[in-house]
Structures are given as C-alpha cells and as structure tokens.
A = this chain, B = another copy of it.
Amino acid sequence: MQRMEKTVKAGGFATARVATARVATIKDVASLARVSIKTVSRVVNKEANVQDQTRQRVLEAVAELNYQPNTAARGLSGKRSYCLGLLYENARESGYFKDVLNGALRTSAAEGYGLLLRPFTLPSESLAADVRQFVLQTRVDGILLTAPLSDYTDVTAVLDELHIPYVQMTPRNSRPGVPNILCNDAEASCAVTEYVMSLGHQRIGFIKGHPEHRAAVERLAGYRLALQKAQLKYEPSLVRPGYFDFESGKKAARALLRLTSPPTAIIASNDDMAAGVVYEAHELGLAIPGQLSVVGFDDTPTASHIWPPLTTVRQPIDAMAAQAIWLLTKTIRGQQLPEVTQPFECQLVLRASTAARGTYQAVEEN
C-alpha cells in the first residue's frame, strides 16, 4: 500500500512528522477491478443490476485492498449521516462506566466532537485486531482507553502504529507523550487501611482485584504499605485473589472467614466484591460491623444500597474522564500538553460497614 508523508503543524511548539498509511478509496477499487467507481458503489451498496461476474471482481478488489467506504463522503453525497441517536435519561445513579460516559460525553460535546462507543468482551483473542478494525472503520480522530483495556500493550501498540492519538485512564505509566489520567489509588488504599487499623483491627483481610488491572496492583501496594508503616507483618493467607466481580468477592470472603484465625476486617478492591463479602457474612450469620468490618472501593450505587452501607473510597471518575477527553482534543489539535498531570484525589467515604473492633461487638453480643 502507498504511503504518504504529511507534516503536521503543532501549535507553536513542536512539528510532528506523521506517516499515514493511505487508505484505499473507491477509485483504487475501481481501477483494480477495471470498472467505474459507480459500479463499485453499486456492489458495495448491494444495489441491483450488476452482473455476477463483475460483482465478483469488485468484491475481490474490495477484499484485497481492505476497502472501507468513507462515511464522511457518503454522508455528504448521500445526505445521510449513517449515525443513529440514542437519547436516555441521565439518572442520578452513577457507577464507574456511567461516570466515565458522562464526563466523556460532556467534554467531547463541548469540544465539538462526537463520541463513538465500542465495548470489548474480555478475554479476547482478537482484541488488538478488533481495535484496529474499529479505528479503520470509524476513522475516529482519537481514542479514550479505559481500564483495563489501557493495560494491554498490544492494544496501545496498534494505536501507536496507526498514529492515532489516545489517552489512557489507568495508573500505569505510559511512554512519554501519551498522557494518562490517574488517581492516587495506592495512597487511598493505604489511607483506608490505616483507617481500619485505627479502629483497632490487626488482622485485616484483603481481596485483590483483577490482576490485569493496573489499579488492582496499586491498591494492593497501598495495603502493604500501610501494614509496613504500622509494623504489622504481611500475612499471605489474609490476601485472596479476586476479579472485581461479586462472585469472586463472595468466594474470597468464604475462604477468609473459614481461617482458624479469621480477619476482623476485610478490605475488598472494589464494591462489587465487598458486596460479596457482606453477602457471605449474612449467610454465615456474622454481624457487620459487629463481628466483621468491610471496606470497598469506588462508591458505586451498590455500596450505599446494601445493608449495612459500605465504607468505601470514591474516585472522581467523571472529572477524570472529562480531563482525559480534554487532553485528547488538545493532542489532536497538536497543542502542547501540560508536562505533568497531577493524580486525582480519592475520597474516603465512611459508612456503617466499619466499626471499632471490640466495642460494637460487645453491644451486639448483649
């Protein structure tokens, strides 16, 4: 395939040299198939009145060149946008995904951009290929990569190769020039662990998050740091694997609570798993926070809707997504980015699922 060198003027500061792989147009297909562009158009749009043999030749050329019709040209000519609108009520209820969505939509609209969503079901064999396909097909100008997609190096490799700007929402340090938005996960995790210790707990269980999420790694690090600062021994049996979902939280809780010397508090790396802990405690007839304190992460709606409501850590997800999009649009326009991005501050949300060890327990045991 041909290559084109293009010089991009970057707002006063740098001058970037971008090599863009020229994508095939209808003309390329037409000349390869030795027909007119109109005939290609007919085939692509499944119109009638094309000979089978001709159609075949065109389809082969389309496949060979990996031709994707240009939506803008189509829209301009055909007076259609090839886009549908989905209108919905923006409920007060939040949640990680919805917060990201809100922040991203608000900011991209303000900056004059539309926002196309693309979900990926993990694990996936074809992740990188699917990402490439998405970019090529939609021709988006930039990409916001949320966790844990931001943590897959083959995904970022594809984006780098396609020379498409992107921003990561993850604590992982990326290569210089690619901004990433993060909050002080480790610090917050350390703080919440210290809070639990301040309530008198010594044996504190910890349920890890999905090992492919960088944030999960950070949260565990914060927990370990707090133990270390308090000169408490890190006990591997008190740390169980988890995958950020309710079921794995339940399972980990069961294992922890069956220990000969079970923890008096459990910190889960997110609210869904913490809800699993609470569920399991109910099943076992353990009083929360009387006999067991529980802490979550993220402050999802679930955190405040279960009983007792969870002590948890809130991240300013909406604001983080907003900043991510803002950085992305700046990058696209070739503007200089602020060198260092401050991590966002997490916030400790105290609710009824944690209490001092002993005190409360005595009351309950009346």
| A301 at interface by CB-CB < 8 Å | yes
| A102 at interface by CB-CB < 8 Å | yes
Minimum C-beta distance from A250 to chain B (A): 9
Residues 54-86 of A at the B interface (beta carbon under 8 Å) = 70-76, 80-86
| A316 at interface by CB-CB < 8 Å | no
| A258 at interface by CB-CB < 8 Å | no
A48 to B139, CA, bound (A): 28
| A177 at interface by CB-CB < 8 Å | no
Please tell me if the beta carbons of A114 and B88 are within 8 angstroms of each other in the complex. no
A269 to B139, CA, bound (A): 43
| A93 at interface by CB-CB < 8 Å | yes
Partner of A89, one of B101, B140, B148: B148
Return chain B residues, CB-CB under 8 Å to A95.
95
Return chain B residues, CB-CB under 8 Å to A114.
71, 82-84, 114, 116, 138
Return chain B residues, CB-CB under 8 Å to A93.
245, 272
Return chain B residues, CB-CB under 8 Å to A309.
279
Please tell me if the beta carbons of B301 and A246 are within 8 angstroms of each other in the complex. yes
Return chain B residues, CB-CB under 8 Å to A245.
91-93
Minimum C-beta distance from A301 to chain B (A): 7
Please tell me if the beta carbons of A307 and B305 are within 8 angstroms of each other in the complex. no
Partner of A120, one of B88, B246, B278: B88
A72 to B149, CA, bound (A): 30
Return chain B residues, CB-CB under 8 Å to A75.
71-72, 75, 139
Please tell me if the beta carbons of A142 and B84 are within 8 angstroms of each other in the complex. yes
Stretch at the interface among A27-35, A105-113, A259-267, A335-343: A105-113
A72 to B83, CA, bound (A): 11
Return chain B residues, CB-CB under 8 Å to A282.
307-308
A282 to B306, CA, bound (A): 10
Residues 109-128 of A at the B interface (beta carbon under 8 Å) = 112-122
Please tell me if the beta carbons of B86 and A117 are within 8 angstroms of each other in the complex. yes
Minimum C-beta distance from A70 to chain B (A): 7
| A37 at interface by CB-CB < 8 Å | no
Most central of A105, A114, A120, A309 by chain B CB within 10 Å: A114
| A276 at interface by CB-CB < 8 Å | yes
Residues 282-302 of A at the B interface (beta carbon under 8 Å) = 282-283, 301-302
Please tell me if the beta carbons of B134 and A87 are within 8 angstroms of each other in the complex. yes
Some 18 contacts from A to B, beta carbons below 8 A apart, are: A70-B76, A82-B114, A83-B140, A84-B104, A84-B114, A84-B115, A85-B134, A86-B118, A87-B144, A90-B121, A101-B117, A101-B119, A114-B114, A116-B116, A246-B301, A272-B305, A275-B305, A282-B307
> What are the 10 A-B residue pairs with the smallest beta carbon separation, nearest first?
A72-B75, A90-B119, A282-B307, A85-B140, A72-B76, A83-B114, A275-B305, A85-B143, A81-B139, A88-B146
Seed contacts A86-B100, A302-B302; 6 additional CB < 8 Å A-B pairs? A75-B139, A81-B141, A84-B329, A89-B121, A90-B122, A246-B305
